[in-house]
Amino acid sequence: MKRALIAEAVGTALLLMAVVGSGIMGEQLADGNAGLALLANAVSTGAMLYGLITVLGPVSGGHFNPAVTLCFRLRKDITTRQGLLYGLAQVVGGILGVWATHVMFGLAVLQQSTTARTGGGQWFSEALATIGLLLMIHGGRRHQPRAVPALVALYITSAYWFSASTSFANPAVTIARGLTDTFSGIMPAHVPMFVVTQLLSAAAATPLLKWLFPEE
């Protein structure tokens, strides 16, 4: 369990470094081209996810996401205690990853985002993005387990572009991104509704996923 929790914390920290760091770098180098900055952000995040799930998946399952952990708990693949500890490790790891990124780029460590991300369209986008992510994970586990890292990486890279919210789809990532006033930030006041939407979507999707991808 200790090894798994460290893997979840480190993995989520590195994921946030990719999300926030590539956003900062992309914005600096894109010379005002928001589309180019978003492309850099998406590609870096997808590439990091592929690596993290490949190397840390065998250690902890490679969740790095409380919504994913909730789905596994509802499927009774993990215990309540394990799920709560995973969620805590993910949130703490995500925040530490944001702070480490600020240090790397010479920014103030403690920040709060001023980027507004709210409204029905954004929340609906988060619901769809979260359900789609879980579909990739559980469908991959059922039919092509070795392809799960690639499936998740490609899905998130795509979801950056097709979703109105740029596909957070992860409560730990959402909380951590509230603490950076950079390209990838979200106002802390807008974090709770994103998190609630993500978790409710994961809970609602679980019965469908169990039916669609039954255990052998």
CB neighbour list of residue 86: distance below 8 Å, 6 or more residues apart: 4, 5, 8, 60, 63, 66, 69, 78
- Residue 72 in tokens: 């596994």
pLDDT reading at 137 higher than 90 = yes
- pLDDT at residue number 35: 94
Averaged pLDDT for residues 162-168: 94
Write out pLDDT tens, residues 22-34: 999 999 999 889 9
**Higher per-residue confidence, 5 vs 31:** 5
First to last CA, the chain: 26
* Integer angstrom CA distances of residue 98 from 15, 78, 176: 9, 28, 6
Q: How many domains does the chain have?
A: 1
> For residue 147, how many other CB atoms are within 10 A of its CB?
14
> For residue 208, how many other CB atoms are within 10 A of its CB?
13
pLDDT class of 173 with cuts at 50, 70, 90: very high
pTM above 0.85, yes or no: yes
- pLDDT at residue number 161: 96
pLDDT class of 1 with cuts at 50, 70, 90: confident
Q: Which of 209, 95, 92 is nearest to 141 (CA)?
A: 209
What percent of the chain clears pLDDT 70, i.e. is strictly above it?
100
CB neighbour list of residue 139: distance below 8 Å, 6 or more residues apart: 151, 212, 213
Write out pLDDT tens, residues 52-104: 999 999 999 999 999 999 999 999 999 999 999 999 999 999 999 999 999 99
Average pLDDT of the chain, as a whole number: 96
pLDDT reading at 216 higher than 80 = no
- Residue 42 in tokens: 């998406």
What percent of the chain clears pLDDT 90, i.e. is strictly above it?
97
- pLDDT at residue number 144: 94
CB neighbour list of residue 22: distance below 8 Å, 6 or more residues apart: 40, 41, 43, 44, 45
- pLDDT at residue number 93: 98
118 vs 109: CA distance, rounded Å = 25
Domain span at 93: 2-212
161 vs 61: CA distance, rounded Å = 27
Helix (H, G, I), strand (E, B) or coil at 164: coil
Question: The domain spanning residue 167 has which CATH number?
Answer: 1.20.1080.10
pLDDT reading at 187 higher than 90 = yes
pLDDT reading at 148 higher than 90 = yes
Interior angle at CA 34, CA 90 and CA 157, nearest 5: 45
- pLDDT at residue number 205: 96
Q: Which of 21, 170, 172 is nearest to 94 (CA)?
A: 172
Averaged pLDDT for residues 115-142: 96
